[in-house]
Amino acid sequence: MLFVLRDITKTYGKITALSQLSVTVPTGAVGLLGPNGAGKTTLIRTLLGLVTIDSGAGEVLGLDLLTRRLDIRQAVGFVSEDECLFPNLSGVEFIAYAGELCGMPRSEALQRAHEVLNYVALGEARYRPVESYSSGMKQRLKLAAALVHDPRLLILDEPTNGMDPAGRDEMLELARDLAHGKEMSLLFSSHLLPDVEHVCDHVLVLGCGRLLIQGQIQELKNLHDHCYEVEVKVDARSFARRLGEAGCTMREQDHSLIVGLPPGQSLELLWKLAAACGEQIRCLRPQKSTLEEVFLKALEEDHHAETTN
Amino acid sequence: MPIFDQGYQHWKGTLSGHAWRWLAITKQGLRGQLKNRSLRMLLLTAWSPALALGFVLAVWGLFEQGSESVLPLLRPILPPGIATDPRAYRHAIWTISYSIFFKSEIIFIMLLMVIAGPNLISGDLRFNALPLYFSRPLRRLDYLLGKLGVVAALVAAVAVGPATAAYLLGVCFSLDLGVIADTWRLLPMSIVYGLVIVASAGTLMLALSSLSRRSLYIGIAWGGLWLISSAVAAVLGGIQRETIVRTVMLKQGVAAPIGGGRGPNRAPLHHPPHPRGALPANWNLIQEQVKEAEIKAAPTNWRPLCSYTANLERLGEALLGTDAAWVQVGRAIEVPRATLQPFLGGGRASPPNERRLADSMVPQYPWTWSAGVLAALLGLSLWTLNLRVKSLDRLR
């Protein structure tokens, strides 16, 4: 398991950042989603052992959250959202220093710094002072600093902030390569759902300090496999009435119908009903939710549950 | 992709133990500080008192051996007691030399702190580096020890290291292993004094550095702490002396001087109290009574406590045992002084007082008072650091 949390609660005064959060996450690339104030940053700091939780327990990479904090940070690399720099250093000195702080000898830290800077494609800029870097270069630098000690878990908090489209794609490819090609686990926190979908296999959605939904992304999206998106040529309403009489569930979406087949029925039912009412089916495809729909639906359900309570 | 690009490689090296993580911060801090040309120049200049100390100890060693190169220079100027048996005064001379050396180095240490100290933590606050530090396997204690190590290295470079080197030089020039038996205490006491300076000045500077992201303000605050506290102590001391002079003169029935009197450097009275410029008949008696009153008040004189550097120096005097050294030298000086005083226009000869030099050269208030002041400052510094250097639990 990547990490296991049991009834974690963390409050900051009157604000509850995490509320009895229990989650078990497998190794691999994990996306962390949630609206502002959901508790994502607090969760990340909890995993790093940087906050003192009010109650609960857990393990990260098999290390106890409460008693092995330093060991956890030794095994974890963290790319923070905020701009953070060691002052008055060049890029390679920056990374070497980050390695030394993790216990690497100076000579090995320098060699390793060059390796990771090659990997993140910071070329000759590595010899310039880091204060002169652009936003995209600083993001790459932070990624390199997180990788220098070869962590088992890499936590990325909004890693594509401030990057141009090409840089963003490169950063996502690096993250994907680390997770799928280099056996490194990833926790990817971002507001950009396509980024999470591109890199991650598993996703957690937080809201108001609680876990709203979690699972493999493909499974969450495939929940709608029994539904189909149908477009007809002439009269969608008439066709919809026929579908309703046959026991199908329906809702309108833009210019198409989202049709849920009754149990035991196949696509043949749709063709028969279309032929019976003289309609032409112009488009028929299985409905696949985007991750955004999964996310919004989870938030909506949580909001509805709160309102009811 | 370049043909030499191997992609991401795993690292399989050995990590150092956790106990030494602070050393990485110290080394990096020193690398950064030594890029500063002003600091390098100051470090070089700060070695001049060390060279002087080494020179004095070497010359004394030659004098003990009766070297013809130094005998003609020193014998005429030293009191007879010292000139005839220099080995008996070896410990006293070495102690006094070390005391003067450390007093000189305190000034350089204060200047070093002005240049090197402000950026220690304020630079990290300005560039938001604390999350980078604390997301590593580092505790706040490691971070603070690492920063304090920078101060310790600089103090060692200008004070403790040169003191040790001068000691070895003095031993070599003495050609007598008995010098170690007589003076061995100076070496560990110098190291302890260096640690006291590091603990006090280092934590104080770190605390100041944690208060602002602008290192300029911190440098100004440090300079103010150093110079203004010294000025306040001097002014208070001057007021006390002025009061003593007026009291004595009133007791003697002499009009007190308007302004003037004894200045802050304890110089003898220069301003004749009589408006026509003539000294009163009992002028020498007045001077002696003023001195006696000052000596009597010295053990309870709290005014030097207002000066930060005076407190450091007082602790140094206590650690090195400078008072006893001056008493020993005083014994050699007082008898010839009492004999020669009437012939040199000093009026009636005062009886020999072996403590005369010690009372004028070494503050007589208890060293525990200075230790208390420095301990209070240390506590305040640690409290400030605990408040200001937040772990990510309390960062935004």
Structural domain contains residue B10: no
Q: What percent of chain B has pLDDT over 90?
A: 52
Structural domain contains residue A302: no
- What is residue B225's predicted lDDT score, i.e. its pLDDT? 92
Structural domain contains residue B287: yes
* pLDDT at residue A229 is higher than 50: yes
Residue A39 sits in the same domain as residue A82: yes
Structural domain contains residue B159: yes
Residue A165 sits in the same domain as residue A260: no
pLDDT (mean) for B247-271? 60
Structural domain contains residue B301: yes
Structural domain contains residue A194: yes
- What is residue B5's predicted lDDT score, i.e. its pLDDT? 56
Per the structure, the count of domains in chain A is 2
* pLDDT at residue B263 is higher than 50: no
Structural domain contains residue A23: yes
* pLDDT at residue B267 is higher than 50: no
- For B107-133, how does the pLDDT look when each residue is reduced to its tens digit (9 = 90+)? 999 999 999 999 999 999 999 898 889
Pairing of strands A63-64, A3-12: unpaired
pLDDT (mean) for A66-77? 90
Residue A260 sits in the same domain as residue A211: no
CATH assignment of the domain containing A44: 3.40.50.300
**Which of A232-236, A244-248, B83-87, B324-328 has maximum average pLDDT?**
B324-328
Q: What percent of chain A has pLDDT over 90?
A: 29
Structural domain contains residue B316: yes
- For A27-52, how does the pLDDT look when each residue is reduced to its tens digit (9 = 90+)? 999 999 888 888 888 899 889 888 88
pLDDT (mean) for B192-202? 95
CATH assignment of the domain containing A271: 3.30.70.980
Q: Which residues of A touch B (CB under 8 A)?
A: 45, 48, 50-52, 70-71, 73-74, 78, 80, 82-89, 97-98, 100-106, 108, 112, 115-116, 118-119, 131, 145, 147, 149-150, 177-178, 181-182
Alpha-carbon Rg for chain A, nearest whole angstrom, is: 24
Q: What percent of chain A has pLDDT over 70?
A: 96
Contacts of B134 in chain A (CB under 8 A): 50
- What is residue A19's predicted lDDT score, i.e. its pLDDT? 86
Residue A211 sits in the same domain as residue A256: no
* pLDDT at residue B382 is higher than 90: yes
- What is residue B1's predicted lDDT score, i.e. its pLDDT? 47
- For B159-173, how does the pLDDT look when each residue is reduced to its tens digit (9 = 90+)? 999 999 999 988 888
* pLDDT at residue A283 is higher than 50: yes
- What is residue B105's predicted lDDT score, i.e. its pLDDT? 94
pLDDT (mean) for B48-66? 90
- For A237-280, how does the pLDDT look when each residue is reduced to its tens digit (9 = 90+)? 888 888 888 888 888 877 788 888 888 888 888 888 888 888 88
Structural domain contains residue B283: yes
Is ipTM > 0.85 here? no
User: How far apart are alpha carbons B40 and B38 in whole angstroms?
Assistant: 5
Which residues make beta-bridge pairs with A188?
Answer: A31, A156
Residue A53 sits in the same domain as residue A135: yes
Query: What is the 3-state secondary structure of chain A?
Result: CCEEEEEEEEEECCEEEEEEEEEEECCCEEEEECCCCCCHHHHHHHHCCCCCCCEEEEEECCEECCCCHHHHHHHEEEECCCCCCCCCCEHHHHHHHHHHHCCCCHHHHHHHHHHHHHHCCCCHHHHCEHHHCCHHHHHHHHHHHHHCCCCCEEEEECCCCCCCHHHHHHHHHHHHHHHHHCCCEEEEECCCHHHHHHHCCEEEEEECCEEEEEEEHHHHHHHHCCEEEEEECCCHHHHHHHHHHCCCEEEEECCEEEEECCCCCCCHHHHHHHHHCCCCEEEEEECCCCHHHHHHHHHHHHHHHHHHC
Residue A241 sits in the same domain as residue A136: no
Contacts of B18 in chain A (CB under 8 A): 70, 103
| B38-47: long-range contacts, CB 8 A cutoff, minimum separation 24 | B38/B115, B39/B112, B39/B115, B39/B116, B42/B108, B42/B111, B42/B112, B42/B115, B43/B112, B43/B154, B43/B157, B43/B158, B45/B108, B46/B105, B46/B108, B46/B109, B46/B112, B46/B157, B46/B158, B47/B158, B47/B162
Q: Which residue has the tokens 């001049």?
A: B48
Residue A200 sits in the same domain as residue A234: no
- For A190-199, how does the pLDDT look when each residue is reduced to its tens digit (9 = 90+)? 888 888 888 8
Cβ-contact A99, A74 below 8 angstroms: no
Best mutation target among B135, B389, B393 (most A Cβ atoms within 10 Å) is B135
> Considering CB atoms only, which of A101, A104, A116 is closest to B138?
A101
- What is residue B277's predicted lDDT score, i.e. its pLDDT? 54
- What is residue A30's predicted lDDT score, i.e. its pLDDT? 93
Q: Give pTM, 2 decimals.
A: 0.82
- What is residue B391's predicted lDDT score, i.e. its pLDDT? 59
- For A79-130, how does the pLDDT look when each residue is reduced to its tens digit (9 = 90+)? 988 888 898 899 999 999 999 999 999 999 999 999 999 999 888 889 999 9
Q: Which residue has the tokens 């060692």?
A: B156
Best mutation target among A52, A84, A152 (most B Cβ atoms within 10 Å) is A84
User: How far apart are alpha carbons B323 and B190 in whole angstroms?
Assistant: 16
Range of the domain at A81: 3-216
Mean pLDDT of chain B: 85
Cβ neighbours for B18, distance < 8 A, ≥ 6 positions apart = A70, A103, B137, B142
Best mutation target among A69, A101, A107, A140 (most B Cβ atoms within 10 Å) is A101
Chain pair A-B, CB pairs under 8 angstroms: 115
- What is residue B396's predicted lDDT score, i.e. its pLDDT? 38
Range of the domain at B170: 19-388
* pLDDT at residue A293 is higher than 90: no
Contacts of B127 in chain A (CB under 8 A): 84-87, 131
Structural domain contains residue B43: yes
Per the structure, the count of domains in chain B is 1
Between B86-100, B146-160, B287-301, B334-348, the lowest mean confidence (pLDDT) is in: B334-348
Residue A250 sits in the same domain as residue A103: no
Rounded to 10 deg, the angle between the A91-101 and A135-147 helix axes is 30
Residue A146 sits in the same domain as residue A52: yes
- What is residue B310's predicted lDDT score, i.e. its pLDDT? 94
Residue A49 sits in the same domain as residue A141: yes
- What is residue A224's predicted lDDT score, i.e. its pLDDT? 58
Q: Is residue B355 helix, strand or coil?
A: coil
pLDDT (mean) for B259-269? 48
Q: Is B126 on the interface with A (CB under 8 A)?
A: yes
Binned at pLDDT 50, 70 and 90, residue B271 comes out as very low
Instruction: Pull the structure tokens for residue B6.
Output: 């191997």
Between A156-165, A220-229, A256-265, the lowest mean confidence (pLDDT) is in: A220-229
User: How far apart are alpha carbons A178 and B8 in whole angstroms?
Assistant: 8
Residue A242 sits in the same domain as residue A269: yes
- What is residue B256's predicted lDDT score, i.e. its pLDDT? 55
Walk across the sheet containing A202-207 and list its strands: A76-79, A153-157, A185-189, A29-33, A202-207, A210-216
Burial class from Cβ neighbours inside 10 Å (0-12, 13-18, 19+) for residue B355 reads middle
Mean pLDDT of chain A: 86
Q: What percent of chain B has pLDDT over 70?
A: 87
- What is residue B77's predicted lDDT score, i.e. its pLDDT? 84
**Size (chain B), residues:** 396
Residue A271 sits in the same domain as residue A142: no
Instruction: Pull the structure tokens for residue B110.
Output: 């204060």
